[in-house]
Amino acid sequence: MMILSALITFFTYLAYAQHIPLATITAPLKNTAYSAGQRIVISWLNPQVDVISQIQICHGTSPAPQPISVIATNVDAKANGTYAWTIPSSWPSSNDYIFMLGTPPNVVSTEQFTIT
C-alpha cells in the first residue's frame, strides 16, 4: 500500500509540474544551410529565464537528439536574444543538426539545419 501511495504521489507531481518554456526560438530556421567556418546566430524571443544554462549542438530531432558538443554555458537570455557561434572549419557535413538550449526539464530546440 505504501508503494502505491508513493507512486500516486509521484505521478501526481509529474502531472502538475510546471514546465517553463525558456523562450521562443526564431533562428536558425528549418532547413537553412550553413558552411563550415560560417557564423550561425541563434535567436529567440520572450525569454522566461534570466540565464540559459547551456547551448548544445546535436544530431537528430527533439525529443531524443544525440548531443555532440556544448558550445556555450550561462548565456544571458535577456541581454539581446541572440548567441553567435562560428562553425569550426573541420566540422562534418550533415543535414540533421539542431541546437538544444537549456538543461532538462527546461529545454527548447531549434529546427533542423544543414552544415556543409
Dump pLDDT digits (tens) for 27-40: 999 999 999 999 99
Residue 4 banded pLDDT, cuts 50, 70, 90? very low
CB atoms within 10 A of CB 2: 6
Q: Which neighbouring-strand residues pair with 52?
A: 75
Residue range 50-82, pLDDT digits in tens: 999 999 999 987 667 899 999 999 999 998 899
With a threshold of 0.85, does the pTM exceed it?
A: no
Would you state the cell numbers that stand for residue 29, as one nine-digit string?
Answer: 530556421
DSSP string, 48-76: SSSEEEEEEEEES-TTS-EEEEEEEEEEE
> In the chain, which residue ranges form alpha helices assigned H by DSSP?
2-16
Write out the DSSP string of 71-114.
EEEEEESSSSSEEEEEPPTTPPPEEEEEEEEEETTEEEEPPPEE
Is residue 99 classed exposed, middle or buried when 0-12, 13-18 and 19+ CB atoms within 10 A define those classes?
A: buried
State the architecture of 20-115 in CATH terms.
Answer: Sandwich (2.60)
8 Å CB contact between 35 and 89: no
The three three-digit cell numbers of residue 112, written as one number: 533542423
Mean pLDDT of the chain: 85
In the prediction, which pLDDT does 19 show?
Answer: 57
